[in-house]
Chains A and B, each alone.
Chain A
Amino acid sequence: MNSSLLIYEWKLLWRDRWAALTLAGLATLLLATLLANAWGLARDQADKARVAAAERARWLGQEAKDPHSAAHYSIYAFKPAPALALLDLGIEPFVGQAVWLEAHVQNDLLYRPQADATPLERSGLRHPASLLIAFAPLAAFVLALSGVARERERGTLRLALGAARDPRRLALGKCLAIWLALLLVLLLPLLLATAFCTGGWSGDTLLRLAGWAAVMAIYLAIAAAAAVAVALRARGLRTALAALFGAWALFTLALPRLASSAAEAVQPLPSTQSVKQQLLDEAPAFWSAETSRANEAAILARSGAASREALGGNYRGLELDLAERHSHAVFDRVLGAFHDRVLAQDAAYRAQAWLSPAIAANQLSMALSGTDFAQHRQFVDAAEQYRRALVNRMNEQVAAHAPDAAGKAHKGDAALWAAQPAFDYSPPRLHLAQLSALPALAAWLLVALAGLLYGARSYRT
């Protein structure tokens, strides 16, 4: 590739005032959403950290009480914002941010940020990744129409391609110029602003950011190559216009939503009502007297004792422990299967990345930003493991201490509360992220480049 050709094409691009304005407008929107996200996430994160510290202090400062009551009191856990949520909010606005880790129940994460949103806020919910994926191709198409289709309409493209030793170089030069414009005006400022807004960089975050930038660079390359290829192959400006506009609307606006609907149809989720009913039927928080009798029989059979009194310790603690561990198995089976179905539905959506590069980019962006359901589930599971450890510890204390001679139950104290470590969640590392849409994105790049080279060659013939 001749660098002077690239520089020439680059200069030509900026002669079109509308193209430059389009890029500048989109870049402004990207930066505005990034800064707004960074501000909102930092504010929420500060609230979460402050209340999480207050929760820990409350747990440690409880008065002496029945350990099982302490398990009911328990703590709230708050989900920290994923590392690159400011670039891609992903599912974060639609999943709960706080969970009460109380005895007997695996509670849902509550308080979804979008739960209180008005239609205006929902329509205006954007983040840099969604804007880039939906509208950067449009900017690429505007640049391609300006740089290729108009030249073709005027007849200057025919002259240029006719005179070139290899027309593919000329086409590549145009594509590269558009791609560089997209990278420098849209992507680079985003990365710099992200670096500025993000504190406490870790190696994992850096890798994620590098991966995210690479995915977006590939996506922009696909848009640039496809735009130039279509502009070269189209019979005229109007045809190029219709083809590019139609492709944009289809691939970036319609197909991602349609693919999501298709994934829901192929891998439907059980209704929340049926899942909750099953949990209530199989592991109710307040069980019946009949279940109590069955619990007693099971405990006696397990220990070989003839009666409660022969068991030693505190029968109530043993029953609480039995019921709790039974509920864990039910939660693993029912909720675990439900979460598996959500992941399977996500996989069905991801499989459609071969239909549109926007689907591939969307999936990869969420995975790299840590804002997909797979990484959300890691938090859900970590919080649940913590809850089980806390509740089991408290129930074991109840079981280990029989009431005293006066019939007074044992009370846990500060030493017991301190024995329970604080909830400390580490987000999953990058190697656990689901990046299986990468081959589809790479394939789209190859197809676009092949189309570009074919377009250039066939134009000459």
Chain B
Amino acid sequence: MNATEFILPHVETAAGQPAPWRALFAWEWRCIGRNPLLWAVSGLVALAFCVGAWSGGGLQQAQQQAQQRQAEADAAWMRETLARVKAYARPAAQPAPYWQDPSDLAGFSRYQLRQHAYKPVLPLAALAVGGSDLAPSRWPVKLETPFGLEPGYDFESPRGLALGRFDLGFAIVGVLPLALIVLVALLATLERDRGMLRLIAAQAIHPRLWLGVRLLALAAWLLPLLALALSLALLLGGADLAAAWPEFLAAQALLAAYVLFWLALAAVVLSAWPGASAALGGLLSAWLLFALGLPLLGKLAADAWLPLPSRVLYVDAQRRIDDALNQQRDSVLTRAFRADPLLAPHIDRIAGLDYATRMSFLAPVREQQLQDWPDRFAQARAARERLGQAAGLIAVPLGLESALAVLAGTDAARQARYEAQVRAYQLQLRDWFSTRIRREIAAPTPRPAGSYARLNFTAHADIPAFAPADEPAAARVRAVLPLLAWLLAAAALLGAIAGWRLRRWPKEL
């Protein structure tokens, strides 16, 4: 028996002539197409897709607008700063306090520098909100912030976060399987519930063909309808499909594979020839296991065996280290000066340094003393990520949710890459200012006689800007291919199991 015959054996007509499976398929396809349930459920799913894309797309657009406004505000601030530098260059009876003087190098770097880093919104962001409702997409970059990342965040309604957003990802991962369960449980059990299955089993038709063709006909309706619904929803959510066509095709492929997975799982449940209530119960149990039980168990396991370091204790550690550093600040500065050939001859100048200049030396030392904490956070998080990835292969909805977030650019890995870029940018800025501050200590710019401004810093236009670097679309598509293959393989395996269980009609119907 070849593979085609295994899946769809021939129908024997009353006269003993083989009837092509296509005839049965065409008949089932027409029957399902005429069933209002298909259109009602598909319509609701399409509506859910559209509402989800609108909701998720709205969030992404708001984040994009916030980034644009921030960039405009920073540019306006820089224009104002340059105007003040010009204005402050006038003579005055008393000099401007250094922290108010935009032409004072150290004062500007600590009190007036306004630079931001951004994570751009990708063209297919409406596909899944992912972690973008919690994680920031816009970071103020300050020189002293430990490890580059300000712990602040964009406030989203905590009630909405706790409930979960009705985004397109949720509609696909959570709502679609429920719709499929209803369709399969009601459309594939009609004969069983009405007692007609006994009559059918008495005919010369193989059970695999009987059930397989019905599920295939259902798939033949659902796959194009859902592909259409996804395209429509993404367009309504503001996605630029032309700009993100590789991700869009990958999303369509994932959606189709997910539908096939659930239909194959349904075939396994239906191979026991249950009635509607038992089929619904069985499939719902599977959904609950995947969508609720496994993630819940995974979280409990992560909390028990992979605990995250306490942020409260991190606060305590920062405060203790700050206190200790404050006690040792002069000796720390002396060591830094001695270790630096440029500054070593000027140790006597330490006592006269302003607070901002001192902090430019102390901030990296503070980080060295705190380094254990981000390392521990990173290790714990990496272990949890690995657990999540493994769980995503078993809890398929979780895996799909993560894959959709990858295509949308709202996943945790992209966030981590951007956080690393923000840190690199902070170090670049630090280095840029530190070099100038050290030079200024070693050879101070003479203060213009009688000037209100210090005027030892006028290179505001040369301050480096954040230059984001993203992975290409192909990398995002490659990242989801393992899950796509896994879904298809799981569907094939489940289909084979169902086919094997459907090798004969049950003895009792």
Contact = CB atoms under 8 A, between A and B. Distances in A.
A203 interface: no
B384 A89 contact: no
A254 B97 CA distance: 58
Contacts of A245: 178, 181-182, 280, 284
A366 to B, nearest CB: 8
A257 B159 contact: no
B151 interface: yes
Interface string B275-302: 1110011001000100111011111101
A266 interface: no
A125 to B, nearest CB: 7
Interface stretch (A105-113, A220-228, A402-410, A424-432): A105-113
A76 B409 CA distance: 35
B303 A97 contact: no
A378 interface: no
A151 interface: no
B159 A121 contact: no
Interface string A272-287: 1111010000000011
B96 interface: yes
B351 to A, nearest CB: 16
Given A120-B387, A271-B62, A241 B159 contact: no
Chain A interface SS verdict (over half): helix
Greatest chain A CB density within 10 A among B70, B160, B174, B291 is at: B160
A128 to B, nearest CB: 12
B71 to A, nearest CB: 10
A272 B84 CA distance: 28
Interface residues of B, number: 93
A114 B308 CA distance: 11
Given A242-B182, A254-B166, A120 B388 contact: yes
B422 to A, nearest CB: 15
A393 interface: no
A272 B154 contact: yes
Contacts of A292: 97, 100
Interface string A286-297: 111100100000
Contacts of A273: 66-67, 69-70, 138, 154
B223 interface: no
B21 interface: no
Contacts of B48: 254
B162 A97 contact: no
A119 B300 contact: no
Interface string A19-45: 000000000010011001000100110
B392 interface: yes
A237 B277 contact: yes
A382 interface: no
B152 interface: yes
Given A110-B152, A120-B384, A256-B163, A286 B100 contact: yes
B312 A272 contact: no
A420 interface: no
A257 B166 contact: yes
A242 B100 contact: no
Contact of B51 (A112, A237, A258, A376): A258
Nearest to A26: B288
B155 A18 contact: no
Interface stretch (B212-220, B330-338, B397-405): B397-405
A345 interface: yes
A316 to B, nearest CB: 11
A54 interface: yes
A241 to B, nearest CB: 5
Given A18-B281, A119-B402, A241-B280, A264 B160 contact: yes
Nearest to B316: A51
Given A76-B315, A121-B302, A149-B277, 5 more contacts: A44-B312, A55-B319, A124-B298, A124-B300, A249-B175
Q: Closest 9 A-B residue pairs measured CB to CB?
A: A124-B299, A120-B388, A91-B158, A123-B295, A124-B295, A111-B311, A257-B166, A273-B66, A94-B158
22 contacts: A51-B313, A55-B316, A58-B323, A89-B162, A91-B162, A97-B312, A111-B151, A112-B153, A118-B381, A118-B384, A119-B402, A124-B298, A126-B299, A145-B277, A256-B163, A257-B165, A260-B166, A271-B65, A272-B66, A273-B154, A288-B100, A289-B96
